[in-house]
Amino acid sequence: MFGWTILGPVGGSSSSAPSHTGFTISNEQLHDNISKFWEIQDVSSHREDSLSVEEAECEAHFQSTHTRDSTGRYVVRLPFKSNAPQLGQTKHIAEKSLNRLIKRISHQPEFFKLYSDFLKEYESLGHMKKVSEDKSSPTESFYLPHRGVMREDSLTTKLRVVFNGSCKSSTGISLNDTLHTGPKLQADIFDVLLYVRQDKFIFTTDITKMFCQIDVHPDDWKFQRIFWTDDQSSTSEPAMYDLTTVTYGTKPAPYLACRVLKQLLSDEGHKFPLAIEPFEKGSYIDDITGGADTLSRLNEIASQVEALCLTGCFPVAKWKSNHPSFCKVNSSSLSSNTSHQFDESTCKILGMSWKCSLDILTFTGHTTQTSAITKRIILSETAQLFDPLGLISPVIVRAKILMQDLWLEKIGWGDPLTPQITHRWKTFRRELVDLANLKIPRWLNLTSDLSHVEIHGFSDASQTAMAAAVYIRVSHPNQ
């Protein structure tokens, strides 16, 4: 089965709702958010080729300014808008932000150590460089406040420092206000996951620290300046550093990263023809997936994918495959000597839970318990059910119908619920644990020797929801 898509009607509300961040969501924003929650996804393969004026300007800027150094690494310029508003001062703002940060985390020694270690590694890898006295006061600059984000499920970096390019300067203008976002280049996750399900054997890998593998031209470092000190007492003057690579938290970072990979494919792809399809159809941001009917072909594709990445100075790691003997061939890189993951544990493939040894997609049975159940809690917990392929839409639609009832009764986001609705939600939430028993084959049994393929579609509707399901039926010569 490809998947389900289910839609239910949406009611209206006359009140705005406070969000988790403490800001008030307007009626219009609330309507848009809820509408998106119910929309049927467009899975058409048609793509709009035309660019807006700003997107075209950003693309032209990249083409005329990007370069490569002697190692093959790409160097980019920040894509400032031609009519960008004037940046103001941010040095004092960033200093105050650092003082608040140090004060807050000085009582958390483990957190402080992780934060400090992250930035020390940043400096040792050349991703940031200390600013010398003669370059400490440029006519134009931007100081980025920063904070730490813990990722408990990460196998490598437990804490990541993120930088705030949206911080307002003294003129009320942020760095991000002056930069292009760039056109959307990454594939739709739905399309990539369908591609992932087509081949009998697959591998997945990801580019290590993808943004940091792309250098920013030295003339633009002054717009990525930060303060930092290892002194927890905040008594010493913090040092200034320039971030030298594409920086997470600046608006064009996703575009620049994806655009550089597209450029790499254009520059070097002809040397590695087997890597072209995984790059074009099986990649999503820093994740790359490839597949084949045989192990030997899978190894060849993986080897060329890695070789292509390395020509642009993009190391790859965290290899996973559903074949126990998967091994990249004809490659001498360090990552090639690392065994790929193959066991009964659950890993992620573009956010979906995947048991590679069993080659099945699974779901986690959520058992979140909260003391008070509100409309906000119901919407938040329902949104945690990540299902881009619509495989558990028959389950999620029950929560959507419940949300519809709350909407029609005009219950506020923090209002107490009726006993009847509370009982319906608790019953639904208890049953979510059964999702852990759901096992969906990743592979759709598609091979190069298929004799017959049929697609069957079904649809139905009621007063509360309408649904469509698409199945694929395949026939092989020996069947």
| DSSP-derived secondary structure for 420-441 | HHHHHHHHHHHHGGGGGG-EEE
If you ran DSSP here, which 8-state letter would residue 308 be given?
Answer: H
Residues near 53 by Cβ (< 8 Å), separated by ≥ 6?
A: none
Who has greater pLDDT, 152 or 413?
413
Long-range contacts of 175-179 (CB under 8 A, 24+ apart): 175/87, 175/142, 175/144, 175/223, 175/250, 175/251, 176/250, 176/251, 177/84, 177/85, 178/80, 178/81, 178/84, 178/85, 178/87, 179/78, 179/79, 179/80, 179/81, 179/84, 179/250, 179/251, 179/252
Dihedral (CA of 239, 244, 247, 249) sign: positive
Residue 451's alpha-carbon distances to 17, 445, 471, in angstroms, are 56, 12, 17
Query: Is pLDDT above 80 for 367?
Result: no
Give me 314's structure tokens.
């993009």
User: What angle (nearest 5°) sits at the alpha carbon of residue 259, between those of residues 41 and 333?
Assistant: 110
For residue 18, CA distances in Å to 30, 403, 407 come to: 10, 17, 16
Mean pLDDT value of segment 162-168: 96
pLDDT at 14 over 50: no
CATH code assigned to 201-207+255-346: 3.30.70
- What does the radius of gyration of the chain's CA atoms come to, in whole angstroms? 25
pLDDT over threshold 70, residue 46: no
Whole-number pLDDT of residue 453: 87
At position 48, the amino acid (one-letter code) is E
Give the count of alpha carbons within 13 A of 97, CB side only.
Answer: 19
N- to C-terminal Cα separation, the chain: 20
- What is the spatial distance between Cα 125 and Cα 145, in angstroms, rounded to a whole number? 21
Q: What is the pLDDT of residues 256-290, one digit of tens each?
A: 999 999 999 999 999 999 999 999 999 999 999 99
* 415 in Cβ contact with 374 (< 8 Å): yes
* 362 bridge partner residues: 353, 439
d(CA 336, CA 252) in angstroms, rounded, equals: 32
Supply 91's token pair. Answer: 């040095």
The structural domains of the chain, with segments of one domain joined by +, span 53-185+210-253, 201-207+255-346
Homologous superfamily of domain range 53-185+210-253? HIV Type 1 Reverse Transcriptase, subunit A, domain 1 (3.10.10.10)
Computed over every residue of the chain, the mean pLDDT equals 85
Residue 168's pLDDT band, with cuts at 50, 70 and 90, is: very high
Residue 8, amino acid: G
Are residues 407 and 11 in contact, defined by beta-carbon separation less than 8 angstroms?
yes
Between β-strands 128-130 and 74-76, what pairing exists: parallel, antiparallel or unpaired? unpaired
Question: 468 in helix, strand or coil?
Answer: strand
Q: Dump the DSSP string for 110-174.
A: HHHHHHHHHHHHHHHTTSEEEPPGGGSS-SS--BPPEEEEE-TT-SS-SEEEEE-TT-B-TTS-B
| Distance from C-alpha of 27 to C-alpha of 396, rounded to nearest angstrom | 25
Higher pLDDT, 38 or 105: 105
Angle CA 409–410–414, to nearest 5: 115
Among left, alpha and beta (phi > 0; psi -120 to 50; other), residue 72 is left
pLDDT at 304 over 90: yes
Mean pLDDT of 365-387: 80
Under a CB-based contact definition with an 8 Å cutoff, are residues 241 and 225 in contact?
Answer: yes
Whether the predicted pLDDT of 16 surpasses 90: no
Closest C-alpha among 243, 286, 257 to residue 119: 243
Please check the confidence at residue 176 and state whether its pLDDT lies above 80: yes
Confidence of residue 382 (pLDDT cuts 50, 70, 90): confident
pLDDT at 18 over 60: no
For residue 7, what pLDDT is reported?
47
Calculate mean pLDDT across residues 382-395: 88
Note the pLDDT of residue 39: 54
